[in-house]
């Protein structure tokens, strides 16, 4: 296997996504030297996640990415914002993690909303996707009477490795029960959903050192450097956006994957969440993380239930077919956060190609509004970068540009969040890798 003395020292970034989990290894200069991707483990009939199963999968991926060539100096995990689990004193999960997009959240929220009451400085709108809904669901599960804590799914592996429960501040901001400026819990909201603030771990700034990485399995495999460290990550898209922002002084990142998330690190004050923007503490700065989340992939999957529409979507997304006039018709209404289903309007066309055009046009417009909103908090003239699986589909990119009248620079590195997390890990231990080397954006002549 090789000892750490014969291996190349790297830092690792982990991205725990709704669909896939990724691990990237970054060397001291900023080169991505290895990457691994696997499906985030979920049952076919239940979108919730077993945290133990995810933990084991992440360690499998670390062993795979290191192989017999690399060793680990620090690890930082970013990922899903609202999912989490109740744990016992040994940091063992007592519940599964309710997915942020699980339709069961809708009914829970309808019952819960009157109990929440108004709250200032929350940073996010209260809606079915928020962690407070997951707290309510978790506390109603059998066998949770012995719970001693709650951990975000994204922080779970890091907390277990360090033996220290914690919550990244960019994830605390997703709960709808955290004062983002005062950095305190809204006790009434926590009590109404989780029961007590005693179950909540200390909130740590994204990018801070947590402690030594202790894993018998990874140590036995010889992949851990002496004094290997765990670094607090946090919400996936802000972490990726922070990394991309190193390229251009707080750039705007339009990340298009399971969801479309537009984010920037702003020096401005936090926006009012009532305008559709979320905010959290700035990452490695005193400013504000600003983001807007729109559903993307789930809307398309809903439309794909019609086989003919699905085939038409493939042709439009690939660029093999051009959209018709229904692209800007407004006859498709996208679903909302927390599982609310999309639908066609009463005057929607019947032809599959027209329906497909209406779906993609509505989603492009939604993304364009998000870019415009977030860009208002970035520095004037700041570049827009784009990343994620959808950014590599030429037909979709052309539709997005036609609808929004905006161009963006494509980030060629496929794992932007994992690379951002690796850059955070490097920053925390005093390395200074080149972000341009890590992300290698496509030259302007090739930009979309």
Enclosing H/E stretch for 437: helix 435-439
> What's the rounded Cα separation, in Å, for the pair 262 and 306?
29
For position 440, what pLDDT does the model report?
83
Q: How far is CA 86 from CA 76, 96, 136, 199, 304, in A?
A: 22, 8, 11, 8, 35
Query: Where does residue 432 rank: exposed (0-12), middle (13-18), buried (19+ CB within 10 A)?
Result: exposed
Task: Tell me if 352 sits within 8 A of 309, measured CB to CB.
Answer: yes
For position 5, what pLDDT does the model report?
72
Beta bridge partner(s), residue 229: 74, 212
Q: How far is CA 60 from CA 54, 63, 418, 424, in A?
A: 10, 5, 16, 22
φ, ψ dihedrals at 254, nearest 5°: -105, 100
Task: Tell me if 230 sits within 8 A of 412, measured CB to CB.
Answer: no
What HEC string does 404-420 produce?
Answer: HCCCCEEECCCCHHHHH
Q: How far is CA 80 from CA 97, 262, 265, 425, in A?
A: 11, 15, 19, 18
C-alpha angle 431/412/77, rounded to 5°?
Answer: 45
- Is the dihedral angle over the CA atoms 122, 128, 134, 140 positive or is it negative? positive
- Is 0.75 topped by the overall pTM? yes
Query: Where does residue 172 rank: exposed (0-12), middle (13-18), buried (19+ CB within 10 A)?
Result: buried
Enclosing H/E stretch for 381: none
> What's the rounded Cα separation, in Å, for the pair 375 and 291?
10
What tokens were used for 198? 């005693």
For position 342, what pLDDT does the model report?
94
> What's the rounded Cα separation, in Å, for the pair 30 and 11?
10
> What's the rounded Cα separation, in Å, for the pair 316 and 397?
10
Which of these, 363, 408, 412, lies nearest to 388 by C-alpha position? 412
> What's the rounded Cα separation, in Å, for the pair 125 and 102?
18
Q: What DSSP assignment string belongs to 119-178?
A: -SS--S---TTSHHHHHHHHHTSTT-TT--EEEEHHHHHHHHHHT---EEHHHHTTTT-E
What tokens were used for 108? 């829970």
Q: How far is CA 94 from CA 41, 163, 167, in A?
A: 17, 17, 18
> What's the rounded Cα separation, in Å, for the pair 388 and 254?
8
For position 412, what pLDDT does the model report?
86
pLDDT in tens, the chain (448 residues): 556 678 999 999 999 998 899 999 999 999 999 999 999 999 888 899 999 999 999 999 999 999 999 999 999 999 999 999 999 999 999 999 999 989 999 999 999 999 998 888 898 889 999 999 999 999 999 999 999 999 999 999 999 999 999 999 999 999 999 998 899 999 999 999 999 999 999 999 999 999 999 999 999 999 999 999 999 999 999 999 999 999 987 799 999 988 899 999 998 777 766 668 899 999 998 889 999 988 888 899 999 999 999 999 999 999 999 999 999 999 999 987 656 789 999 999 999 999 999 999 999 999 999 999 999 898 888 889 999 889 999 999 999 999 998 888 999 899 999 999 999 999 999 999 999 999 985 543 233 3
For position 274, what pLDDT does the model report?
63
Which domains are seen in the chain, by residue range?
4-234 (3.30.420.40)
> What's the rounded Cα separation, in Å, for the pair 150 and 208?
20
């Amino acid at each position: 296997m090789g000892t750490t003395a014969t291996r190349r020292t790297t830092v690792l970034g982990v991205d725990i996504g709704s669909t896939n989990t990724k691990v990237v290894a970054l060397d001291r200069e900023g080169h991505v030297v290895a990457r691994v991707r696997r499906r985030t483990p979920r049952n076919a009939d239940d979108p919730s996640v077993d945290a133990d199963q995810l933990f084991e999968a992440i360690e499998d991926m670390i062993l795979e990415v290191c192989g017999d060539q690399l060793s680990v100096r620090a690890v930082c995990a970013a990922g899903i914002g609202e999912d989490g689990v109740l744990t016992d004193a040994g940091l063992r999960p007592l519940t599964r993690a309710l997915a942020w997009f699980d339709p069961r959240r809708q009914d829970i929220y309808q019952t819960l909303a009157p109990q929440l009451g108004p709250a200032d400085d929350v940073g996010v709108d209260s809606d079915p996707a928020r962690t407070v809904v997951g707290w309510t669901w978790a506390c109603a599960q059998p066998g949770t009477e012995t719970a001693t804590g709650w951990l975000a799914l994204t922080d779970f592996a890091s907390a277990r490795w360090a033996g220290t429960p914690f919550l990244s501040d960019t994830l605390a901001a997703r709960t709808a029960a955290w004062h983002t400026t005062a950095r305190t819990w809204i006790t009434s909201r926590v009590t109404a959903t989780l029961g007590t603030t005693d179950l909540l771990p200390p909130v740590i700034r994204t990018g801070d050192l947590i402690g030594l990485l202790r894993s018998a399995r990874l140590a036995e495999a010889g992949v851990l450097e002496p004094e290997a460290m765990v670094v607090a990550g946090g919400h996936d898209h802000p972490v990726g956006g922070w990394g991309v922002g190193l390229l251009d002084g707080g750039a705007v990142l339009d990340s298009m994957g399971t969801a479309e998330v537009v984010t920037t690190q702003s020096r401005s004050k936090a926006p009012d969440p009532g305008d559709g923007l979320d905010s959290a503490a700035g990452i490695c700065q005193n400013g504000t993380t600003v983001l807007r989340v729109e559903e993307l992939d789930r809307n398309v999957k809903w439309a794909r239930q019609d086989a003919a529409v699905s085939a038409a979507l493939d042709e439009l997304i690939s660029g093999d077919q051009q959209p018709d006039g229904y692209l800007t018709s407004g006859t498709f209404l996208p679903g909302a956060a927390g599982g609310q289903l999309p639908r066609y309007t009463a005057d929607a066309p019947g032809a599959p190609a027209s329906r497909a055009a209406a779906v993609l046009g509505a989603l492009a417009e939604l993304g364009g509004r998000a870019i415009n909103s977030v860009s208002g908090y970035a520095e004037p003239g700041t570049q827009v970068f784009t990343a994620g699986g959808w950014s590599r589909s030429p037909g979709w990119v052309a539709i997005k540009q036609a609808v929004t009248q905006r161009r963006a620079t494509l980030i060629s590195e496929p794992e932007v969040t994992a690379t951002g997390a690796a850059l955070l890990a490097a920053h925390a231990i005093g390395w200074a890798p080149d972000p341009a080397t890590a992300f290698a954006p496509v030259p302007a002549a090739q930009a979309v």
